[in-house]
Structure 1
């Protein structure tokens, strides 16, 4: 990850962000190719989804829930384990089911070398959200039901990461973490190990203005806290946006230039899809003779109700509407988010 700081131009008095946003050319959405296209055969690096930029190497094997989704042995999307045999990723990642060319690797740090901690799975089911729109990239969420590959000596699956409560939001200024194996610069440089960086949540109304209205209520926005190029770009679509050991977002799309604060990175807001995730898991709960979870006394009844994560897992979700809430006490930036390099 590089820490290049572009020189900011002197801004005129009375400079307004919205006026400059209106004067810029329309932003370019960068996402992976649609299903049926090979992600590495598109027209150059600008068509390759999202990568982590401006960060550092993660502590080896400190994020065992991170998944590398590969086709013909090449990493092209990220994901994360949210339930035994269930990996969450982005709907725009073209992941067919029961295809021997596609595999999900958990427990990895360096993808180019064998590691005892790695475990390889096939994709038994690949379920994109039924309302996913490839034009607007709204509802960009996909669930993968993985099936074990032939066991390897020393291989082990990592613990899953917890999901947020339904409809929880993150306050502007909250500093989150993003992870991935994608490119580390705007020139297609790939890392040798898992990388991490931080990003600050941007107010949705400002983000919508910067993106010319392309940001829906199902999205979160994040940007660098300073002029350093930092964020996501292409190769880590489907990766996690993490705050306090819970995953709040899925890497969805970004602007023309990696880490450019003028166009915040866009993440799918996971808390809007908790009911859908529960229904998917419950629907596919018994194909291999798995025991049904029986709720204890006082547990809610109905689809999606009850604790799905088990004793060590995430939130207890009960049926019925939930009021929007904000998570955490994320500090607001010392200065308002400004458009760098205009």
Structure 2
């Protein structure tokens, strides 16, 4: 059994760093005291995805970040080497939309119910969501953050990194994706720029004007090519549009079961 768990942790470590971690390309270390909503989604102490706190007892992340085994989240630190029992919280419940097939088909959103409420304080804060359905203008400046590699075939990092990205016109994005774009998504970064996310930034938030508007879902190389390539420009990075799921989110936050 010990050998089985060792193998699982090795697989999860690779998953966390290459598929569900957080790779920020051409960004910088997040300043202390910033991005206090960021969460590391972990399985048995191994980082597998990003996420973000939206209330005292819920973290939002991507549906494809769901993994076998007990899940924890880490809050209140930018450095994944500085984790203790005080900032590691067990997950009580995972909620995904029904009929979620895979990230390339949309509905890539998941709510994680924490086993206890966190105290919002100097190093932990929730981030607001949109109040209603939004339509972002092209070139709106936003940012995305996460942990992991910072270049193709590079080393993973333990300190949170952040990069600015711009919203891409949806029609342009659809054209670059050759009609392979699912519904209810936002495009930002990764195209006509050297900045964006890469394989591994899954679950982290796209933040515009202090509001979490998107969830990192996928990019071209991640979906169609097994070889990770973080050298942009490429095709636009794709995020789940949170505003399209506000009624579903609110029902669950209010205590409803996990359903559409």
Q: TM-score normalised to the size of structure 2?
A: 0.82
Deviations 1:134-184 (A, max 9, x none): 1633010000001139x9xxx987121000122112111111100001211
Distance, in Å, in 1 between the alignment partners of 2:20 and 2:51 is 16
Q: Does 1:237 align with 2:190?
A: no
| Aligned mate of 2:174, from 194, 201, 208 | 208
- Max Rg structure: 1
Say whether the 8 Å CA contact 2:152–2:231 is kept in structure 1. Answer: no
What aligned pairs does 1:1-342 form with structure 2 within 5 A after superposition?
Answer: 38-40=11-13, 47=19, 51-95=23-67, 99-100=69-70, 102-114=71-83, 119-134=87-102, 136-148=104-116, 158-224=124-190, 227-228=193-194, 230-256=195-221, 257-258=229-230, 260-284=232-256
- What's the secondary structure of 2:41's corresponding residue? strand
Displacement after TM superposition at 1:188 (Å): 3.7
Deviations 1:45-102 (A, max 9, x none): 7655652111000112311110001112111100001111100000010245xx54x2
Aligned CA distance change for structure 1 residues 268 and 41 (closer, same or farther; 3 Å): same
Displacement after TM superposition at 1:214 (Å): 1.7
Displacement after TM superposition at 1:120 (Å): 1.2
Displacement after TM superposition at 1:132 (Å): 2.1
Distance, in Å, in 1 between the alignment partners of 2:110 and 2:103 is 16
Distance, in Å, in 1 between the alignment partners of 2:67 and 2:173 is 29
Unaligned runs of 5+ in 2: 1-9, 222-228
Aligned CA distance change for structure 1 residues 103 and 215 (closer, same or farther; 3 Å): same
Aligned CA distance change for structure 1 residues 157 and 147 (closer, same or farther; 3 Å): farther
Aligned CA distance change for structure 1 residues 128 and 191 (closer, same or farther; 3 Å): same
Aligned CA distance change for structure 1 residues 277 and 148 (closer, same or farther; 3 Å): same
Distance, in Å, in 1 between the alignment partners of 2:29 and 2:176 is 30
Aligned CA distance change for structure 1 residues 137 and 156 (closer, same or farther; 3 Å): farther
- What's the secondary structure of 1:223's corresponding residue? coil
RMSD: 2.8
Say whether the 8 Å CA contact 1:166–1:273 is kept in structure 2. Answer: no
- What's the secondary structure of 1:206's corresponding residue? helix
- What's the secondary structure of 2:89's corresponding residue? strand
Q: Could you list the runs of 4 or more consecutive aligned residues of structure 1 that deviate by over 6 angstroms after TM superposition?
A: none
Deviations 1:225-269 (A, max 9, x none): 7543x1111232000000111000000001223252331110000
More helix by percentage: 2
Query: Would you say how many aligned residue pairs link Structure 1 and Structure 2?
Result: 239
